[in-house]
């Protein structure tokens, strides 16, 4: 297994690069704690990817009825929740140093809290159903409709508001110099690989524990 | 397998159906079956009036409580709009899961599965929830406006926002009511899974209502809010239509 080592080295290198790049200007302001951007933005993107994958494997489960897909869906949702929490906390720290308050119900913050609550509701639902197949069906349905609403609250909502409604920088890193741009995309790829690796491990664990439950009952 | 294969009834040369053999047997909803589910719910609700009473009492009692607690204060339109939608949301959460929970509790869900196409159950119950919401709000919103001294500067806009919000709430709560009714701790689970999904709708509805109560400036621009609500309604109607089969026939 080479993949875990590649991911480990890649993510470490990404963190180091984040500290090496020149400062970023947002308008004529220099962003403070800019290193967070190379952590926070990839986490937020990976969190959305995780939700997308959870819903995708939910659809796969509904179509094929193979428990493997349900385990993958669960795994992506769980790792996605962790990423979502990290993105929320790093975002709050960034907001504190740049805008003066940890929390100000900026449209981006509304979006990420909605997503976090949707993730939490998924696990509440899974815990409340006893029958295995029914549990998986309801999980998949909620993951799909949750994805639609998460897209609404994180992407559509902000774009329908006037431009001055959010303080959140958009495209600031992308439009700055090439080195910053490279550092950002390097980290995005790194954390998505991390997501995939962790979700694979988690789904294998889930399959193993399912088999164990079956053996127990048999 | 024989009943599902449609080769026998198809004319020679017709393309083999790509539908799953069981899916091909599921009857599609017609307006008559949707109506049948609606009137069944209407009659059984009218016997006990449990959901109607809980929603109506909640949405009338909370403006009274609110106006006690903020008596003789001038509230901003944004605050009023937020209060109104908080009241309406929780009133909906109190009563709307009833229509599916009732079926599971009284053991009539199986009979309904046998006698009705799944789509008809969804749309019949969504229609019933919509009527329930509109009916209780017809009483609750005027009381709210009177007791809290809201300046109703755009009444048509308020009606439009209420209607768009009610459509979204009714459809989401029908799908989620069907989900929650199959789990343990139905009442509390319904609120837990419904709140995250209606938050975007709630935010947009509050913005639109603030404009209807006379908010000015960037808060007075209500087109984005209406667009969000319309988009949300279309999205959840489509999602519920596609996904309800998997919940109902599980």
Residue B218: per-residue pLDDT:
62
Instruction: Tell me what the pLDDT averaged over chain B comes to.
Output: 83
In this predicted structure, what is the pLDDT of residue B8?
44
**Total domains in the fold of chain A:** 1
Answer for the pair A11, A194: CB distance below 8 angstroms, yes or no. yes
When divided into structural domains, chain B yields a total of 1
The answer to whether position B21 is within a domain reads: no
- Does residue A16 lie in a domain region? no
CA–CA dist B165, B170 (Å, integer): 9
Q: What is the pLDDT of residue B173?
A: 92
Calpha distance A12→B97 (Å, rounded): 49
Chain A residues closer than 8 Å to B232 by CB: 149, 152
In a domain, A128, yes or no: yes
Give the span between the Cα atoms of B31 and B53, in whole angstroms.
28
Query: Is residue B16, in this structure, part of any structural domain at all?
Result: no
Please check whether residue A118 is in contact with residue A54, taking contact to mean a CB–CB distance below 8 angstroms: no
Residue B17 lies in a domain: no
For residue A211, tell me if it sits in a domain.
no
Of the two residues B93 and A25, the one the predictor is more confident about is B93
A155 vs B: CB within 8 A: no
Check CB contact under 8 Å for A146 and B197.
yes
A120 inside domain? yes
**Chain A stretch 133-152, residues whose beta carbon is closer than 8 A to a beta carbon of chain B:** 133-134, 137-138, 140-142, 144-146, 148-149, 152
A157 contact residues in B (CB cutoff 8 A): 200, 203-204, 228
d(CA B132, CA B99): 11
pLDDT one digit per residue (tens) for chain A, 218 residues: 788 999 999 999 988 888 887 776 666 666 666 778 888 889 999 999 999 999 999 999 999 999 999 999 999 999 999 999 999 999 898 888 877 888 877 778 888 888 999 999 999 999 898 888 899 999 999 999 999 888 888 877 776 666 666 677 766 666 667 778 888 889 999 999 999 999 999 999 999 998 898 888 76
Is residue A28 in some structural domain? no
Please give the Cα distance from B52 to A81 (Å, whole number): 37
Range of the domain at A71: 36-201
Q: Which residue, B168, B186, B33, is CA-closest to B88? A: B168
Least confident of A193-197, B11-15, B71-75, B100-104: B11-15
- Residues A8, A195 contacting (CB under 8 angstroms): no
Residues from chain A contacting residue B197 (CB–CB below 8 Å): 118, 121, 145-146, 149
B86-96: average pLDDT: 87
Residue A26 lies in a domain: no
Q: For the complex shown, is ipTM > 0.95?
A: no
What beta strand segments (E) does chain B contain?
Answer: none
Tens of pLDDT, residue by residue over B146-161, are 888 888 888 899 999 9
In a domain, B54, yes or no: yes
Query: How near does any CA of chain B get to the CA of A21, in Å?
Result: 37
Show the domain range for B211.
29-248
Query: Which burial class, exposed, middle or buried, applies to A14 when counting CB atoms under 10 A from its CB (0-12, 13-18, 19+)?
Result: buried
Whether A46 maps to a domain, the answer reads yes
Query: CB of B104 within 8 A of CB of B181?
Result: yes
Give the CA angle between residues B165, A140, A110 to the nearest 5°: 45
Q: Is residue A181 part of a domain?
A: yes
Chain A residue at shortest CA distance from B182: A129
User: What's the pLDDT score for residue B12?
Assistant: 46
């Amino acid at each position: 297994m080479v993949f875990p080592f590649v991911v480990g080295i890649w993510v470490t290198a990404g963190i180091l690069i984040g500290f090496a790049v020149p400062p970023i200007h947002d308008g004529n302001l220099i962003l403070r704690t800019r290193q967070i951007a190379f952590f926070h933005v990839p986490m937020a993107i990976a969190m959305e990817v995780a939700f997308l994958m959870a819903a995708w494997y939910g659809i796969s489960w509904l179509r094929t009825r193979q428990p493997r897909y349900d385990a993958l869906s669960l795994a992506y949702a769980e790792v996605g929740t962790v990423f979502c929490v990290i993105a929320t906390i790093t975002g709050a720290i960034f907001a504190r140093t740049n805008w003066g308050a940890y929390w100000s119900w900026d449209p981006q913050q509304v979006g990420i809290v909605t997503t976090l609550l949707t993730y939490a509701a998924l696990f509440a639902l899974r815990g409340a159903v006893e029958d295995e197949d029914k549990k998986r069906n309801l999980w998949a349905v909620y993951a799909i409709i949750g994805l639609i609403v998460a897209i609404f609250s994180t992407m559509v909502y902000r774009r329908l508001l006037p431009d001055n409604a959010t303080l959140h920088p958009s495209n600031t890193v992308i439009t700055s110099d090439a080195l910053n741009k490279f550092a950002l995309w390097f980290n995005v790829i790194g954390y998505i690989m991390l997501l995939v690796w962790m979700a694979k491990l988690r789904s294998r664990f889930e399959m193993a524990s399912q088999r164990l439950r079956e053996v127990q009952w048999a | 397998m024989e009943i599902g294969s449609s080769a026998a009834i198809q004319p020679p040369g017709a393309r083999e159906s790509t539908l799953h053999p069981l899916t091909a047997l599921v009857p599609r909803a017609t307006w008559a079956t949707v109506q049948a589910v609606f009137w069944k719910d209407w009659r059984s609700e009218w016997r006990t009036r449990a959901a109607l009473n809980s929603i109506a009492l909640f949405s009338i009692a909370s403006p009274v409580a609110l106006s006690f607690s903020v008596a003789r204060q001038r509230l901003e339109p944004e605050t009023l709009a937020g209060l109104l939608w908080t009241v309406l949301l929780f009133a909906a959460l109190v009563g709307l899961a009833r229509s599916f929970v009732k079926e599971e509790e009284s053991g009539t869900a199986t009979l309904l599965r046998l006698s009705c196409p799944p789509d008809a159950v969804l749309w019949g119950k969504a229609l019933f929830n919509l009527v329930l919401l509109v009916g209780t709000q017809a009483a609750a919103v005027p009381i709210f406006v009177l007791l809290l001294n809201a300046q109703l500067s755009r009444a048509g806009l308020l009606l439009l926002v209420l209607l768009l919000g009610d459509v979204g709430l009714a459809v989401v709560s029908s799908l989620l009511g069907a989900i929650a009714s199959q789990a343990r701790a139905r009442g509390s689970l319904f609120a837990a899974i419904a709140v995250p999904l209606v938050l975007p709708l709630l935010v947009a509805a509050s913005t639109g209502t603030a404009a209807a109560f006379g908010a000015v400036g960037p808060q007075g621009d209500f087109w984005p809010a209406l667009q969000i609500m319309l988009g949300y309604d279309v999205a959840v109607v489509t999602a519920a239509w596609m996904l309800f089969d998997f919940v109902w026939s599980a």
